[in-house]
Amino acid sequence: MLKLRNSLSQNLRLKKNPKMSLRIGLIAVLVGCFSISTWAASEATLTTRAPLTQDSDKVIPLSELCVKALSKFSGKFDDKVLAQACSKVEVLPGCESVNGTPIYHYDKKGQSKKSPKVLVFSLIHGDETAAGSVGRFWMERLETISPRNSWRVVPILNPDGLLKKTRTNSNMVDLNRNFPTKDWDEKAKLYWQKDSKSNPRRFPGNLSASEPETQCAMKHIEDFKPDFIVSIHTPLKVLDFDGPKLKPPKFDYLPWRSLGHYPGSLGRYMWFERKIPVLTMELKEDLPSSNQPWLQLQDIIGVLVGIENMSDKEKAQVKKK
Ligand SMILES: [Zn+2]
């Protein structure tokens, strides 16, 4: 595992985007000019301070940006709890979209130092806004409980796509086909041309991990070292688990069904190449009237992560049940 993580970090270094460095440089110049300290000024630290947003010269505090964006998703939420959760969001160095919007995340530590870690990516596809409602609900709920597992929620991985209401990012790349799987160079474009008939919604990019949003997701994997990943989508109405073969816990709201995985997809990158299980939630476009299914699902994930951390002998026993 250590070896794999090292190679991931090398990969990240190799793929460092010169355009992004230039952007960070430009931000640094702006910072110098206006004597404002910004989140991007240092590559070494995390910060919750005010980022520069792409649509104006105004400096908007990250917490405000978070409340503003997450409040727009449909469904119920608690203003106070959301504001409290958003006051804690942070940005990993370099985690910004093509258009320069920060990609922030929320962390909640588990009960012990050894707590397994769950990483949630919501809105990899910008036009799947129901995913944002679930990411928001989990941030809120985590704010009010002391969870067994440590959780990191990235509620909007593709902010440009969200703004433009597109599946892809601003470079028209499907981020869930852009992860640098081993077969990417050989198969990603061929697969796109043949199997998805060059559907522009599924364009994998010209190079693997070419997109800043994909690079940000990889930075989270490198930084947080998750034991389990949840990726939230719409509209296929299923739960798809790429992980060890287990009898899935009962969940009435969505059936369990395997959807397969593709060159450049997160499931192939993390489970098939790194043995970190990935639960893909494919929601219905219409959200349920209450958040109860998401509460139940969060608990189910807790159980799955527990199973994942069992010994092989224990796993075999669960399988028999
Ligand atoms: Zn999707």
Which tens digit of pLDDT belongs to each residue from 57-106? 567 899 999 999 999 999 999 999 999 999 999 999 999 999 999 999 99
Residue 54 predicted with pLDDT over 80: no
What would the DSSP string read from start to end of 279-312? EEEE--SSPPSSSHHHHHHHHHHHHHHHHHTS-H
* Residue 123 confidence class, pLDDT cut points 50, 70, 90: very high
Alpha-carbon distance of 166 to 285, in angstroms, equals 15
Give residue 232's pLDDT. Answer: 96
Of the pLDDT bands very low, low, confident and very high (cuts 50, 70, 90), residue 311 is low
| Segment 191-217, tens digit of pLDDT | 999 988 999 999 999 999 999 999 999
pLDDT per residue as tens digits for the range 156-198: 999 999 999 999 999 999 999 999 999 999 999 999 999 889 9
pLDDT at 112 over 60: yes
Instruction: Tell me how far the alpha carbon of residue 128 lies from the centroid of ligand 1, in angstroms.
Output: 6
Sign, CA torsion 135/232/223/23: negative
Q: Separation of 201 CA from ligand 1 center, angstroms?
A: 10
Tokens standing for residue 92: 């990993």
Tell me, what's the pLDDT at 183?
A: 97
CA of 281 to the centre of ligand 1 (A): 9
Beta bridge partners of residue 15, listed in sequence order: none
Query: Is 80 exceeded by the pLDDT of residue 1?
Result: no
pLDDT tens digits along 254-272? 999 988 889 999 999 999 9
What six digits make up the tokens of 135? 């990411």
Structural domain boundaries enclosing 241: 2-320
pLDDT of residue 304: 87
Give the distance (Å) from ligand 1 centre to CA of residue 235. 8
Question: Is the backbone of residue 74 left (phi > 0), alpha (psi -120 to 50) or beta?
Answer: beta
C-alpha separations of 234 from 78, 88, 127 in Å: 24, 27, 9
Say if residues 174 and 266 touch (Cβ distance below 8 Å). no
Number of domains in the chain: 1
φ and ψ of 30, to 5 deg: -55, -45
Residue 203, domain CATH: 3.40.630.10
Q: Are 85 and 38 in contact (CB under 8 A)?
A: no
Q: Give the distance (Å) from ligand 1 centre to CA of residue 317.
A: 34
Amino acid identity of residue 142, one-letter, is: L
pLDDT at 130: 94
Quote the pLDDT of residue 319: 54
More confident residue, 4 or 241: 241
Return the pLDDT at 115. Answer: 93
pLDDT reported for residue 199: 94
State the pLDDT at residue 284: 87
Candidate ranges 3-17, 207-221, 299-313; pick with highest mean pLDDT:
207-221
Cα–ligand 1 centroid distance for 42 (angstroms) = 33
Q: Report in angstroms the alpha-carbon separations of 173 from 10, 157, 223.
A: 23, 13, 24
Q: Output the CA 27–ligand 1 centroid distance in Å.
A: 31
- Ligand 1 centroid to Cα of residue 137, in Å, is 19
13-48, pLDDT tens digit by residue?
A: 333 444 444 444 444 333 333 333 333 333 334 544
How many CB atoms lie under 10 A from the CB of residue 219? 19
Average pLDDT, the chain: 83
Nearest one of 63, 84, 310, 105 to 221, comparing CA atoms: 105
- If you measure from the C-alpha of residue 36 to the centroid of ligand 1, how many angstroms do you get, rounded to a whole number? 37
Q: Is the dihedral of CA 136, 142, 148, 154 positive or negative?
A: positive
Q: How far is CA 236 from CA 75, 110, 198, 233, 281, in A?
A: 19, 31, 21, 8, 9
**Separation of 64 CA from ligand 1 center, angstroms?**
26
Of 132 and 45, more confident = 132
What residues have their beta carbon closer than 5 A to ion ligand 1? 125, 128, 233
- Token output for 182: 């081993």
Please state at what angle helix 212-224 crosses helix 2-14, rounded to 10 degrees: 150
Chain centroid offset of residue 191 CA: 24
pLDDT value, residue 260: 81
Please give the sequence-ordered ranges of beta strands (E in DSSP) within 109-218, or none if there are none: 117-122, 150-154
